[in-house]
């Protein structure tokens, strides 16, 4: 193939990265600078120019979506499917190593993955058994502690507990790990840590992988945590070349262990060269100028400034809303015009700092008759009914799986109550047996009443029966059989209401998902079922079924990373909301908030609206937030303030008048904003209550005849704040 084809259409910097010699490299890739393109072309370059075999390529991402996109695009570039190449997520690839070497990892062949929900249940169970008051010691905190320690690569033996609090954490960590090991279960952090340890403790294995993966590539490197860094370093050894792509300005996951300093550490540890991708192909010059100015307020940056050879575009519009309802209405009315102008709703996104903010916006969309799609929330494979069904299948494959056992022992209800269950748990603990075997033992030893013994026996027989029957069935038939025979289907069919109907539908969808599942060819699974179970845990599935309806995209700023939209609204850009209250209190968190703002702004291609509300109902209380400091950090000439001119007139008899009023309109009404005006008559039966003066004026309008309270905001110039 002609090499030029790989470099055509790339800018100089992109070419430098794609055609770089075999050495360690950092590609500092700004938002919208074509980093995926570079990664994909680099892989093609390695194969076609450096004659690298597909087997020698190892590419890691954080999300399944990114991994999938990379694979498809590599195949497009090479015009052939690529077998043998390892492209996947940190967890996916680590899991693959664990599967291949489960013996060395001290795991049963059919070991299963605990998601965070399973993990929490497991901890709760342990707390009960250990007589720890979960009021005083919330299970969540243990979960957080355990994951954080594992992310740091720390086992209980590596930790010194100096205070009572940490001693308790450590005690539960130890017990939790023992329980997981006994049951053949690994949580997400364990997948990474265990895979790291397997490689580290088996030099032969390590050498094998090091020799194989001569070319390593890592995406979104700024999000790597300690264990991921160590894992990469171990695999890279002294000889392999590794190209990392990342953007320190887009590091927004520090709170869950990501170490932004890993980028700088990489430069020294790996003696790497740096290439900067600063040309942006996404946003207007105005948006970039404002984003650059904002992010310059952070310290310790690697340094990078985005530019475009495109147009300035429109200024960023800043809307000071009266309250959160007004803000939502503003957004919905702008979206209505956008739609009426012949645009697609799906090209627009509303970004907010926290999920709770979506509700008001949702209501406004509903009112305006605009379709919307909210990202986040419960994923398909995380749903209760799905997890119930999967638990049966897990237990069939691995009787040690205590988490699965606990989940289905009395689901559907079969009369196995707390008492029987605690007998089983006691026996399991004293004999160090998995719950399944404890249950069997307890029946044999006749420690149970006749009725309890018979229901437990029934359960044991049920699981064994399912195992007997499904051996020769297809995956789809296996799932169907387990869901039917277990009584889950009947149980959810009996559940009344919309909820029950949805659950039945989901179970049916699970069966059909089993039918559609294709066992990956080049990955070794002991059975299709095991492949499917891993798939459900590692790829929890989309929130909803892919809606092809034209709808506005609503999501948190975090979930917007990596996406782009012609039209973007950033709402709630207020002190206390964004930056969030706690980021202001905890040291070092402010810069991450600023990066989050930077991420949000750089999602916008053509037009960006930023709004903040002067008053907002929060936790049942009215809060008055000032505009976010981030707004002040954007250059004035990039910003246009919007005020909607509204004649102040007598409002309808009921409801809330929450429109805004311009200085002009207010002055026309005979009021001078330069002075305090208290309790003045305004229109028919209106009382004005004017608080404050100058920059942050607030005006309340009370209608004494209806008794309802009206608020009118008087806007001050933003620069004055």
Partner DNA sequence: GTAGCGTCCGTTTTT
Partner DNA sequence: CGGACGCTAC
CA 61 – CA 480 distance, rounded (Å): 34
Residues belonging to the binding site for ATP are 29-36
Report the number of secondary-structure helices (H) and strands (E) in the chain.
29, 21
Residue 307, phi then psi, degrees to nearest 5: -140, 165
- DSSP letter, residue 279: B
d(CA 307, CA 572): 27
CB nearer to DNA: pick between 255 and 667: 255
Q: Radius of gyration of the chain from Cα atoms?
A: 29
82 vs 139, beta carbon nearer DNA: 139
Tell me the three state secondary structure of residue 121. Answer: helix
List of residues contacting DNA (CB under 7 A): 62-65, 89, 91-92, 115-116, 124, 134, 188-189, 252, 255-256, 353-356, 376, 410, 413, 415, 417, 538-540, 555-556, 558-559, 580, 582-583, 586, 589, 593, 617, 619-620
**Helix ranges, 253-298 (H):** 262-269, 285-295
H-state helical runs in 184-311: 188-201, 203-212, 226-236, 262-269, 285-295
Q: Could you confirm whether 629 is annotated as catalytic?
A: no
* Nearest approach, Cβ of residue 690 and DNA (Å): 26
Rank residues 89 and 628 by Cβ distance to DNA and give the closer one. Answer: 89
The residue among 242, 328, 252 whose CA lies nearest residue 557 is 252
Q: Can you read off the two tokens belonging to residue 172?
A: 């539960």
Catalytic residue among 115, 187, 197, 219: 219
Residue 598 near residue 298 (C-beta atoms within 8 A): no
Residue number, 363 or 426, with CB nearest to DNA: 363
Bond prior to 412 in cis (omega within 30° of 0): yes
Angle at 532 between CA 410 and CA 196, to 5 degrees: 100
Backbone dihedral angles phi then psi of residue 570, each to the nearest 5 degrees: -110, 115
- Cα–Cα dist 634/628, whole Å: 11
> Quick one: DSSP state of residue 577?
B
Q: What CA–CA distance (Å, rounded) separates 341 from 77?
A: 37
457 catalytic per annotation = no
Contacts of 171 (CB under 8 A, 6+ apart): 130
| Upper half-sphere CA count for residue 646 (Cβ side, 13 Å) | 18
**Catalytic residue, candidates 89, 226, 228, 250:** 250
d(CA 558, CA 252) in angstroms, rounded, equals 7
- Hey, which bits of 120-267 come out as E strands? 185-187, 215-218, 241-246
Q: DSSP assignment, residue 545?
A: S
Cis amide prior to 568 (ω within 30 degrees): no
Phi, psi dihedrals of residue 365, rounded to the nearest 5°: -65, -45
Quickly tell me which residue has 């008899």 as its tokens: 653
**Catalytic residue flag (residue 603):** yes
| Active-site annotation holds for 268 | no
Output the 3-class SS for 51-115.
CCCHHHEEEEECCHHHHHHHHHHHHHHHCCCCCCCEEEEHHHHHHHHHHHCCCCCCCCCCCEEEC
Q: Which residues of 150-177 are buried (b: 16+ CB within 10 A; e: fewer)?
A: bbbbbebeebeeeeeeeebbbbbbebbb
- The residues that are catalytic are 35-36, 219-220, 250, 603
């Amino acid at each position: 193939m002609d090499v030029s084809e790989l470099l055509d259409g790339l800018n100089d910097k992109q070419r430098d990265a794609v055609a770089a010699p075999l050495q360690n490299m950092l590609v500092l890739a700004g938002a919208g600078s074509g980093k995926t393109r570079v990664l994909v072309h680099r892989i093609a370059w390695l194969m076609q120019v450096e004659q690298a075999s597909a087997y020698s390529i190892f590419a890691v991402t954080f999300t399944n979506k990114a991994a999938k996109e990379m694979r498809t695009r590599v195949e497009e570039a090479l015009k052939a499917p690529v077998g043998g190449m390892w492209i996947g997520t940190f967890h996916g690839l680590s899991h693959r190593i664990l599967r291949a070497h489960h013996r060395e990892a001290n795991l049963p062949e059919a070991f299963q993955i605990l998601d965070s929900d399973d993990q929490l249940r497991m901890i709760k169970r342990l707390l009960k058994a250990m007589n720890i008051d979960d009021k005083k010691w919330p299970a969540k905190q243990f979960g957080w502690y355990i994951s954080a320690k594992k992310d740091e690569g720390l086992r209980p033996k590596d930790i010194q507990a100096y205070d009572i609090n940490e001693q308790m954490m450590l005690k539960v960590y130890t017990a939790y790990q023992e329980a997981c090991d006994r049951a053949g279960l690994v949580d997400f952090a364990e997948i990474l840590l265990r895979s790291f340890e397997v490689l580290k403790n088996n030099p032969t294995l390590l050498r094998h992988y090091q020799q194989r993966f001569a070319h390593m590539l890592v995406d979104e490197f700024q999000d790597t945590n300690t264990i991921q860094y160590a894992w990469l370093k171990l695999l890279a050894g002294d000889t392999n070349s590794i190209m990392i792509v990342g953007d320190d300005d887009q590091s927004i996951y520090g709170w869950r262990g990501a170490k932004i300093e890993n980028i700088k550490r990489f430069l020294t540890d790996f003696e790497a060269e740096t290439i900067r991708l600063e040309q942006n192909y996404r946003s207007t010059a105005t948006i970039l100028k404002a984003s650059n100015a904002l992010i310059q307020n952070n310290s310790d940056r690697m340094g990078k400034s985005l530019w475009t050879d495109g147009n300035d575009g429109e200024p960023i519009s800043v809307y000071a809303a009266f309250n959160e309802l007004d803000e939502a209405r503003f957004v919905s009315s702008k979206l209505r015009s956008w739609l009426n102008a012949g645009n697609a709703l799906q090209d627009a996104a509303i970004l907010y700092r926290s999920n709770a903010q979506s509700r008001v916006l949702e209501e406004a969309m509903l009112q305006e008759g605009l379709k919307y799609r909210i990202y986040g929330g419960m994923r398909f494979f995380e749903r209760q009914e799905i997890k119930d069904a999967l638990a049966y299948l897990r237990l069939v494959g691995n009787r040690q799986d205590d988490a699965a056992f606990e989940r289905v022992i009395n689901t559907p209800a079969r009369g196995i109550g707390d008492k029987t269950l605690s007998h089983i748990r006691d026996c399991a603990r004293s004999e160090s047996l998995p719950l399944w075997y404890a249950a069997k033992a307890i029946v044999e030893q006749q420690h149970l009443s006749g009725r309890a013994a018979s229901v437990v026996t029934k359960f044991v027989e049920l699981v064994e029966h399912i195992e007997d029957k499904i051996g020769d069935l297809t995956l789809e038939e296996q799932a169907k059989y387990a869901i039917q025979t277990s009584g889950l289907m009947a149980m959810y069919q009996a559940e009344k209401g919309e909820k029950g109907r949805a659950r039945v539908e989901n179970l049916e969808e699970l069966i059909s998902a089993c039918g559609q599942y294709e066992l990956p060819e080049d990955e070794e699974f002991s059975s299709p079922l095991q492949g499917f179970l891993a798939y459900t845990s590692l790829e929890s599935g989309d929130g909803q079924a892919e809606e092809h309806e034209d709808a506005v995209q609503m999501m948190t700023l975090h979930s917007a990373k990596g996406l782009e939209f012609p039209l973007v609204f950033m709402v709630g850009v207020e002190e206390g909301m964004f930056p969030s209250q706690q980021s202001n209190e905890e040291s070092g968190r402010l810069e991450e908030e600023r990066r989050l703002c930077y991420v949000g702004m750089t999602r916008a291609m053509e037009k960006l609206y930023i709004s903040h509300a002067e008053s907002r109902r929060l936790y049942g209380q009215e809060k008055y937030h000032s505009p976010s400091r981030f707004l002040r950090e954007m250059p004035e000439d990039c910003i246009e303030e919007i005020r909607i001119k509204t004649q102040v007139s007598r409002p309808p008899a009921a409801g809330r008048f929450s429109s805004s009023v311009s200085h002009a309109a207010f002055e026309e009404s005979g009021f001078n904003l330069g002075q305090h005006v208290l309790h003045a008559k305004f229109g028919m039966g209106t009382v004005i209550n004017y608080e404050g003066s100058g920059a942050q004026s607030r005006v309340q309008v009370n209608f004494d005849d209806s008794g309802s309270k009206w608020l009118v905001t008087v806007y001050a110039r933003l620069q004055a704040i």
